[in-house]
Amino acid sequence: MLLRFLRIPKIKTVAIPIRELSNLSIGKATTAAKFIPVLETSTNTIQNPWIYRQNDNFNLPRCPNLKIDLPNTIKTIIPAIEPNKQDVIEAPAFDDSIKKEAVKMIVIRRKKMKKHKLKKLRKRMKFEWAKKRQRRELKKEKAFQAELIQQCKEAEGFSAEQYVKDKISEFKKASETLSEAEHSTKTETKIIVNK
């Protein structure tokens, strides 16, 4: 009576053998029969969806048996080649001039390759060129320093008294030669006048 009131389906017990892991022993397998409750479904009883969910029978559409044909391209008939027909193949005309295709592209490519190679070379030779530059600058600096040292030595060896004496002696020599030249010109003019 209570089952009808709650509308719970009747439970039917069936013996199904189940293997338990605890009953297994090495060498032989033992099975223990247990009773598992299985729900009995009948059309007479009303099912409560909250207690038991009834399986709905789905009828899936069946795929009709379709015949698959080959693609249309294979169905086309290939025309037969005439066996007696002979095509004459002519030799190409002999031309010495080689036609260049895409000349501008070649020029651009060469330009780009030169640029790329130059970049690569600069990257590879960066430190070697820096060493050369440093050596050149060092050589220039050494030459400049040597010139400065020589000028300093000349300045240290300079004597003002000796310089003045030299200048006076040069002036005296110049004045003597000048007076001799004047004297000779005067005598020459006298001789010319007397004639």
Q: What is the pLDDT of residues 122-142, one digit of tens each?
A: 999 999 999 999 999 999 999
Question: What is the rounded CA–CA span in Å between residue 14 and residue 36?
Answer: 6
Q: 0.85 exceeded by the pTM?
A: no
pLDDT of 73 reads 63
Query: Which parts of 17-102 fold into alpha helices (H)?
Result: 72-75
Contact between residue 20 and residue 32 where contact means Cβ atoms under 8 Å apart: yes
Confidence of residue 32 (pLDDT cuts 50, 70, 90): very low
Q: Closest by alpha carbon to 13, among 28, 34, 27?
A: 34
Asked if pLDDT for residue 33 goes beyond 50, the answer is: no
At 179 the three-state DSSP class reads helix
Q: Which residue has the higher pLDDT, 9 or 82?
A: 82
What is the domain partition of the chain in residue ranges?
A: 1-53, 104-158, 161-195
pLDDT of 145 reads 96
